[in-house]
Amino acid sequence: MQKPKRIIVIFSVVIAVLAVILINRVIKQNRTAADLNVLQQSIDAAFRTQLSLATSSLGTDFDEDESNFNACVAAVSAAAALADQTTYESRNDLIDVALNRFSKILLNPENRQTVSQHSPELRSLFVKLTMNPADVETTRTLSAFIGNVK
């Protein structure tokens, strides 16, 4: 009679240890999912901040101060770098490509005057993108502008 009781006790201990390991694993998995969610929200917030900074710099006179233009280039380039990692990219597949192409246009000195002349229109587009980065129509309008600039 001692052997069956011993086997039951051993199996009970093994089951208890496995239950503790399973519970620990579930808790760690939930923490990881929560951490990933916080990280994703941070990326989305940083992206919107860069769009907002680009919007602000497009509202300034590029000829007045070189730093205004440099701020625009930096904000658009940063937004382009973040775009692929945001949740908005899944709903607006063109946003990363459009921002990347626009940042390259900004880096070309020949396009500075064109961008400066169209800054009110571009600012309006960036205001819309800041409000709703998943807006496909606004991204298409930005892409159309980019397509017209060489």
pLDDT digits (tens, 9 = 90+) for 37-96: 899 999 999 999 999 999 999 988 877 878 888 999 999 999 999 999 999 998 998 999
Report in angstroms the alpha-carbon separations of 116 from 36, 42, 112, 125, 129.
39, 31, 6, 14, 19
Size of the chain in residues: 150
pLDDT, mean over the chain? 89
Provide the whole-model pTM.
Answer: 0.80
Tokens 């208890």 — which residue? 16
Q: Alpha-carbon distance 135 to 11, whole Å?
A: 58
Do 106 and 133 contact (CB within 8 A), yes or no? no
Domain ranges for the chain: 2-148
Q: Alpha-carbon distance 101 to 146, whole Å?
A: 7
